[in-house]
């Protein structure tokens, strides 16, 4: 209903003009009949009434044309006195024109409309004083009449201006409310997309790590099955342990989405030794070096560090080939922790498989470091042929003003 009224708003002034013309035509038709011998005296009157009605009808769509039509009527009545409205209330049509035009324009045009309104008021007062003899012989009464007409026109202009200001303010508020709703919807969609991306990244980190370990152990068990059957059992145990750990992490991730009474438990700095141990059992030689004291980090920052190390070691296992080695250095400082992960293929003469720089793994590592308040850089190690180097820095909690 409101939408229909908004679309049909432009019909209001034309309908009002039609009603205005019909009502006054019925009122004065007996005094201004169109017939043989009376055309010269009646046609100017009906033309003036029709022109004033047209000015009302187009006052919002064509305000300048409406003012021109209204002024033309007054000028025409000055040259053709029979066109003057002998019923003074007909001139209230000018109040409608002034009010609507004043509400439709803005800026400097309001001054033009004010001049038009005052001019119309004074002109109507002059025509009626001359034609009907209002205030004749009483200068003070005539002056009062002129003042009242000009004041009435000014009041119409002021009312229209206030209506226009209120209407534009209301339209701006509605537009702002609509923009706010769209912005909130966009923010909601962005949050959903970001959450989906986070879930996808977590699933990628968990599954890529576990499947890489399982694949390495399965290949090793297959190659040693005939020569060293006893080595198959530890490999199968590692496969089972890795799969079980991955299932646990995926369950924790799902519980995070569903919500748990006691809150989910994410891997952190204390789980790095277990991670290194699991990958070492998969055939990757990993050495870990600690420097300094590791400060306080939030659970999200610890998870970011864990995932960065997990992804870096998994990439080494996946791309550097069998017998590859990795060196992880954790440098604890007062203001944060710096970590470096250098990988080296088993055969320096044979380059390691190329790492996809645009892949989800590296992008996820950089994004995790950024969200934790730090940075990450990854690329080939210039000092080691076929090597790869990952360096990152995560600031401590105190620098971010975060409470653990």
Q: For the domain that residue 311 is a member of, what is the CATH number? A: 3.30.565.10
In the 8-state DSSP scheme, what is residue 263?
A: -
Please indicate, yes or no, if residue 262 is contained in any of the structural domains: no
Q: Are residues 166 and 29 in the same domain?
A: yes
Query: Which has the higher per-residue pLDDT, 155 or 271?
Result: 155
Is the residue at 267 inside a domain?
A: no
Most confident segment among 3-7, 11-15, 259-263, 320-324 = 11-15
Q: Answer with the one of 139, 157, 182 that is the final residue of a domain.
A: 182
Tell me the pTM: 0.51
> Among 196, 189, 188, which residue's Cα sits nearest to residue 360?
196
Task: Classify residue 229: in a domain, yes or no.
Answer: no
For residues 50 and 191, which has the higher predicted lDDT (pLDDT)? Answer: 50
Tens digits of residue pLDDT in 34-69: 766 666 778 889 999 999 999 999 999 999 999 999
Who wins on pLDDT, 219 or 102? 102
Q: Which of 139, 159, 182 is the last residue of a domain?
A: 182
- Which residues are CB-neighbours of 179 under 8 A, at least 6 positions away? none
Query: Which range marks the domain in which residue 353 is found?
Result: 284-404
305 plus 174 within the same structural domain: no
- Which DSSP symbol is given to 33? -
Please indicate whether residue 346 or residue 290 has the higher confidence score (pLDDT). 290
Whether residue 56 contacts residue 20, with contact meaning beta carbons closer than 8 Å, is answered with yes
Q: Quick check: 259 pLDDT over 50?
A: no
The β-bridge relationship of strands 336-344 and 325-333 is: antiparallel
| 155 and 291 together in one domain | no
Dist CA 188 CA 36 (whole Å): 76
More confident residue, 215 or 20: 20
Q: What is the pLDDT of residue 339?
A: 93
Dihedral sign from CA coordinates of 342, 347, 351, 354: negative
Pick 339 or 334 by higher pLDDT: 339
Task: Establish if 269 belongs to a structural domain.
Answer: no
Q: Residue 75: which pLDDT band, with cuts at 50, 70 and 90?
A: very high
Sign for the CA dihedral angle at 288, 290, 291, 294 comes to: positive
pLDDT, average across residues 175-193: 81
What would the mean pLDDT of 137-148 be, rounded to a whole number?
86
If pLDDT is split at 50, 70 and 90, which confidence band does 223 have? low
Please provide the average confidence, as pLDDT, over all residues in the chain. Answer: 80
End position of a domain, from candidates 125, 158, 182: 182
Domain count, the chain: 2
Question: Who contacts 205 (Cβ-Cβ below 8 Å, separation ≥6)?
Answer: 307, 310, 311, 314, 361, 364
In angstroms, the CA 299 to CA 305 distance is: 10
Determine, yes or no, domain membership for 382: yes
Q: What are phi and psi of 20, to 5 degrees?
A: -60, -45
Select the more confidently predicted residue: 343 or 9.
343
* pLDDT score, position 184: 83
The encoded tokens of residue 42 equal 């009646």
Residue 135 belongs to some domain of the structure: yes
- In a shared domain, residues 41 and 160: yes
* Pair 34, 151 in one domain: yes
26 and 166 fall within a common domain: yes
* Mean pLDDT of the 319-336 span: 82
Which tokens go with 87? Answer: 């019923």
Domain-embedded: residue 268:
no
In this structure, the answer to whether residues 174 and 292 fall within a common structural domain is: no
Q: Per-residue pLDDT averaged across 1-11, rounded?
A: 64
118-151 burial string, b = 16+ CB within 10 Å, else e? bbbbbbbbbbbbeeeebbeeeeeebeebbeebbe
On the question of pLDDT at 403 being above 50, the answer is no
How many other CB atoms sit within 10 Å of the CB of residue 98?
Answer: 31
Cβ–Cβ < 8 Å for 341, 327: yes
Q: What is the mean pLDDT of residues 24-34?
A: 80
Provide the edge-to-edge strand list for the sheet that holds 388-395: 285-291, 325-333, 336-344, 388-395, 375-380
Structure tokens at 253: 């991730």
Same domain, 9 and 134: yes
Closest listed residue to residue 88, CA positions, set 138, 126, 115, 119: 126
Which residues neighbour 30 within 8 Å (Cβ) at sequence distance 6 or greater?
A: none
Is 316 contained in some domain? Answer: yes
Least confident of 99-113, 219-233, 256-270, 303-317: 256-270
Confidence of residue 398 (pLDDT cuts 50, 70, 90): low
């Amino acid at each position: 209903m409101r939408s229909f009224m908004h679309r049909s708003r432009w019909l209001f002034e034309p309908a009002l003009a039609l009603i205005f013309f019909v009502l006054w035509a019925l009122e004065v038709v007996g005094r201004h009949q169109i017939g043989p011998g009376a055309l010269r005296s009646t046609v100017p009157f009906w033309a003036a009434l029709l022109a004033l009605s047209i000015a009302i009808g187009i006052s919002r769509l064509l305000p300048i044309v409406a003012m021109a039509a209204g002024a033309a009527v007054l000028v025409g009545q000055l040259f053709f006195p029979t066109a003057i409205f002998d019923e003074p209330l007909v001139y209230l049509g000018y109040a409608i024109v002034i009010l609507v035009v004043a509400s439709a324009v803005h800026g400097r045009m309001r001054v033009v409309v004010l001049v038009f309104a005052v001019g119309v008021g004074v002109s109507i007062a002059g025509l009626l004083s001359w034609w009907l003899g209002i205030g004749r012989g009483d200068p003070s009464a005539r002056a009062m009449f002129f003042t009242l007409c000009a004041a009435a026109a000014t009041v119409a202009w002021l009312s229209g201006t206030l209506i226009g200001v209120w209407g534009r303010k209301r339209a701006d508020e509605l537009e702002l409310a609509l923009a706010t709703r769209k912005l909130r919807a966009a923010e909601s969609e962005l949050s959903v997309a970001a959450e989906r991306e986070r879930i996808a990244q977590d699933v990628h980190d968990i599954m890529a790590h576990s499947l890489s370990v399982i694949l390495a152990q399965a290949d090793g068990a297959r190659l040693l099955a005939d020569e060293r059957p006893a080595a198959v059992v530890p490999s199968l145990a590692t496969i089972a342990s890795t799969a079980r750990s991955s299932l646990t992490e995926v369950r924790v991730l799902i519980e995070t989405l569903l919500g748990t009474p006691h809150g989910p438990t994410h891997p952190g700095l204390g789980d790095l030794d277990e991670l290194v141990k699991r990958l070492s059992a998969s055939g990757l030689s990993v050495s870990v070096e600690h420097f300094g004291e590791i400060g306080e980090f939030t659970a999200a920052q610890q998870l970011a560090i864990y995932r960065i190390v997990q992804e870096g070691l998994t990439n080494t296992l996946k791309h550097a080939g069998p017998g590859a080695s990795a060196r992880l250095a954790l440098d604890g400082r007062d203001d944060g922790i710096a970590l470096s992960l250098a990988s080296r293929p088993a055969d320096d003469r044979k380059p390691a498989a190329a790492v996809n720089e645009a892949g989800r793994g590296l992008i996820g590592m950089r994004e995790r470091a950024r969200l934790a308040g730090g940075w990450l850089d990854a690329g080939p190690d210039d000092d080691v042929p076929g090597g790869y180097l990952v360096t990152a820095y995560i600031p401590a909690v105190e620098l971010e003003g975060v409470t653990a």
